[in-house]
Amino acid sequence: MKLQKALLETLPVEPYPVRKLIVGVHWTAVCSKYCGLASTLVKEGHHTEETVRDVGALHQKSAQELAYWILSDNPLEASIGMAAFNSLLDVDELQAVEVNAAKILTDYGRGKNVAVVGHFPFVSKLQSITKNCWVIEKRPATGDYPEQAAQDLIPRADVVAITGTALINHTIEDLLHLCRPNALVMVLGPSTPLTPRLFDYGVSIVSGSRVWDEQSAILCVEQGAIFPQVQGVRLMNIVAPGIKL
C-alpha cells in the first residue's frame, strides 16, 4: 500500500475535527475541512462478520485519524478513510477541468483497445466506438471479464480506466503495474482523490468529484442515493503534464 501511504503524507498537519460522518448504503461522506465522498464497500457475507471500530465515537476523532483507515483491511473502515482523506484535500479548482469522464474516454479511446476496471454506465457507448473495450469486474455482468483477466487484458490496452474504489480495496497498485508505459491511464469515480500525487504512479488523468453544496449532498447520501442522484457535487478532472483534454 505504498500509494496510499504516499497520499497520507500529503495530509495537513493541523488536525481537523469531523463535523459529520454518514455511512450510507451506497456512499460514505465525511465532513471536516470540506465534505469528502467515497463508495461504501462491505465484505460479502453475514453482516456480523464486519464491525467498525469505535462506532459511536468516530465524530470525536480528527479527520486525519480517520483518513489513515484507508490502510484498513476492513473495506467499510477503508471507505470511511477514503471519504475522510477527500474531506481534507485542497484542490486547485482553477487548474481543474469540468468534463465528464465518459467524454474523455470517448475522445481518447476511439478506435483503440480500452480496458475499464469497473462497470460504469457509459460502457455500452464506449464499446460502440472502440476497437476493443474490455470491462473487468469483481462481480462480472454479462459480457464482463472477471478480475483475474486483468493480467492479460490491461497490458494490451492503449487506454486504461480504473475505478477509484481500487484505492479502497487495495488493488490500485497491482492494476497500475499492469499498464503499459505509453498507455493513457485514468482513475475515475467520486471516490477518486483529486491529487497530483497519483501522477507519480503513472496516472495520466484523475477524474473525481467535489462537493460544493454540503447540505444537499449529505441529504441525498442519507436517503440512499446512487451517485447520479447526489446533488451539490461537481465532476472535476486534473491532468498530468503533457496531457490535454
Task: Give the CATH number, domain containing residue 47.
Answer: 3.30.390.100
Is residue 191 domain-resident? yes
Is residue 131 domain-resident? yes
Beta bridge partners of 186: 161, 205
Do both 105 and 205 map to the same domain? yes
Q: How far is CA 112 from the centre of its chain?
A: 24
Do both 115 and 206 map to the same domain? yes
pTM of the model: 0.95
Is residue 11 domain-resident? yes
**pLDDT, tens digit, 9 for 90 and up, residues 206-220:** 999 999 999 999 999
> What's the pLDDT score for residue 203?
98
User: Residue holding cell 490502510?
Assistant: 71
Is residue 79 domain-resident? yes
pLDDT along the chain (245 residues), means of 10: 96 96 97 98 69 94 98 97 98 90 95 96 93 95 94 98 97 98 97 97 97 98 96 96 89
Task: Write the burial class of residue 98 (CB in 10 Å: 0-12 exposed, 13-18 middle, 19+ buried).
Answer: exposed
Q: What's the CA gap between 232 and 30, in Å, rounded?
A: 15
Beta bridge partners of 75: none
> What's the pLDDT score for residue 48?
55
> What's the pLDDT score for residue 45?
56
- Cell numbers found for residue 118: 469497473
> What's the pLDDT score for residue 245?
84
Can you say whether the dihedral through the CA atoms of 141, 185, 174, 71 is positive or negative?
Answer: negative
CATH code, domain with 111: 3.40.50.11590
Do both 106 and 190 map to the same domain? yes
> What's the pLDDT score for residue 47?
55
Q: Of 20, 53, 87, which one is at a domain's C-terminal end?
A: 87
Is residue 225 domain-resident? no
Is residue 180 domain-resident? yes
User: Contact at 8 Å (CB) between 129 and 110?
Assistant: yes
Q: What angle do CA 125, 131, 135 make, to 5 degrees?
A: 60
Do both 129 and 191 map to the same domain? yes
The residue segments making up the domain with residue 47 are 2-87
User: Residue holding cell 483477466?
Assistant: 149
Is residue 219 domain-resident? no
Do both 16 and 108 map to the same domain? no
Secondary structure of residue 31 in the 3-state scheme: strand
